[in-house]
Structure 1
Amino acid sequence: MATTTKKEMKKNEQPASQKKATVKAKADAAKDLQELFEDGLKDILWAEKELVKALPKMEKNATSKKLKDAITGHLEETKQHVERLQEVFKSIGVNAETEKCDAMQGLIEEGESIMEETAPGAVRDAGIIAASQKIEHYEIASYGTLAAFAKVLKHEEALKLLLTTLKEEKACDESLTSLADTNLNSKADKN
C-alpha cells in the first residue's frame, strides 16, 4: 500500500486560481447580446430610481453648502437619467422595466453606513463624497458598457441617449473630485 506524504499531497493540489468554477445559468439567463443589453438597462433603471430616493438623505446629512448644492443638482440630473432610460427602452421597442441592482443597493447601503459612522461636519462630508464617487464610478462603468452594446447592436438612438448620460456621469465625478480637492478634505483632516 502506497502512502502519500503531505508534501506530495500539496504538490498534487491545484491552486484555487486554477480550479475551474462553472456557474449554472438560470433558466431565464440572457442568451444573446440583445438580452444582455436589455438586462443591463433594467438594472441601471432600478439603480437610478433608487438613487433618486437616496440622494435627498445624503443632501440632508451634508453640511457643506457646495456639497449640498452638488447633490441637489445631481438629483435633478438623475431624474432626467430615469426619463432618458425610459426613452432608451422605447427606442429599442421594449417596455421599460426594472430589475434589482445588487451593486447599487450595496453602494447605497455603504453610503448610509458611512453617514451613520461619522459625526456631522467635514468628516461626514468627506465620507459622502467618497460614497458618491463610488456610485458615479459604477454608473460610468454601466453606461459605458451599455453604450458599447448599443453600438454593436446598431441601436443608434439608444447609443446617443446613453452617451449623453455617460457624459453627465463623468462630469459629476469630476465635480465631486474637484469638491474633494478643495478645502473639504483638509477640514476633515483637522477634526
Structure 2
Amino acid sequence: MAVKTLEDLFLHALSDMASGEKQLTKALPKLAKAATNPALKNAFTAHLGETQGQIERIDQVVDLLELKLKRIKCVAMEGLVEEGAEVIEEIDAGPVRDAGLINAAQKVEHYEIASRGTLCALGRQLGYTEAVKLLKQTLDEEKSTDEKLSMIAQGGANEEADDAPAARKGKKAA
C-alpha cells in the first residue's frame, strides 16, 4: 500500500489496528488458559470481550468514514503474540509463568496505546471528530487494561513468582 497522504496513513494505521485486534482475539483465550492466577485469568477473559468491542468500533469508523480496510498483517502484534506463546511454552505453569504473561500482555497494551494514540492524533488532524471519539474509547480501554495488569502484578502476582522455589534458587542470602 502506497502511503502518500495523511488519509493514506490513517487508513494504513486503522487497517493495521484491525489486524492486530483480530490476532489478539485468538491469543487471549490461550493466555487465559495458561494463567494460574485467578485475577489474571479474569483480566484476559474480560479483555477478550473488550477486544471484540474494539473490532466493532473499527467497523463503525470504517462505515462512518466510508473506508475500505487494506488487507495487511500487523507484524508488530504478530511478534508480541509470539512472545506470549513462548512464555507459555518455555515456563512451567505457576506464578513465574503468570509474571511472564503479565510482562507479555503489558507489552501488547503499550504497543496498542501508542498505536491508538497516534491514530487519534491523525484523526484529529484530518477532522474525523466522530471517528476519533470511537477510537478514544478504545485508547481508554487499553490504558485501563494496562493499569489492571499492573495492579495484578503489584497486588501479589510478582511476589508469588519471587517466592516460587525455582526463583529462590538464584538468590543470594542477604
TM bin, normalised by shorter chain, reads over 0.9
What is the aligned partner in structure 2 of residue 143 from structure 1? 116
Tell me, in whole angstroms, the C-alpha distance in 1 between the residues paired with 2:4 and 2:68. Answer: 19
Aligned length: 164
Gaps of at least 5 residues in structure 2 are 165-174
Letter aligned with residue 116 of structure 1 = E
Quote the residue 1:82 is aligned against: 55
Give yes or no for the alignment of 1:102 onto 2:102. no
Specify which structure has the higher proportion of helix.
Answer: 2
- SS of the equivalent of 1:41 reads helix
- Taking structure 2 as the reference length, what is the TM-score of the superposition? 0.92
The answer to whether 1:30 aligns with 2:30 is no
How big is the alpha-carbon RMSD for the aligned residues of Structure 1 and Structure 2?
A: 0.9
Partner of 1:56: 29
**1:97 positional shift:** 4.3
* TM-aligned CA deviation for residue 115 of structure 1: 1.3
> Residues 36-69 of structure 1, C-alpha deviation per residue, up to 9 Å, x if partnerless?
0000000010000010000000000000111111
Q: Assess if the C-alpha contact under 8 Å between 1:43 and 1:100 holds in 2.
A: yes
2-side partners of 1:96 and 1:30: how far apart?
A: 14
- Residue in structure 1 matched with residue 133 of structure 2 by the alignment: 160
Q: Distance in 1 between matches of 2:63 and 2:122?
A: 16
Aligned counterpart in structure 1 of residue 96 of structure 2, from 114, 120, 123:
123
The percentage of aligned residue pairs carrying the same residue is 48
Q: What SS class does the counterpart of residue 99 from structure 1 fall into?
A: coil
* 1:95-147 deviations in Å (ceiling 9; x for gaps): 24441011000000011011111110000110110000000000000100000
2:55 is paired with a residue whose SS is helix
1:55-104 per-position Cα deviation (integer Å, ceiling 9, x unaligned): 00000000011111111000000000000011111111112444101100
Gaps of 5+ in 1: 1-27
Q: Distance in 2 between matches of 1:61 and 1:100?
A: 25
Asked if the contact 1:45–1:98 (Cα under 8 Å) also holds between the matched residues in 2, the reply is no
The answer to whether the Cα contact below 8 Å between 1:90 and 1:96 also exists between their aligned partners in 2 is no
- Is residue 102–residue 149 contact of structure 2 (8 Å, CA) maintained in 1? yes
Matched-pair contact (CA < 8 Å) for 1:86–1:96: no
Separation of aligned partners in 2, 1:99 and 1:144: 20
- Which consecutive aligned stretches of 4+ in structure 1 deviate over 3 angstroms post-superposition? none
Distance 2:162 2:121 in 1: 40
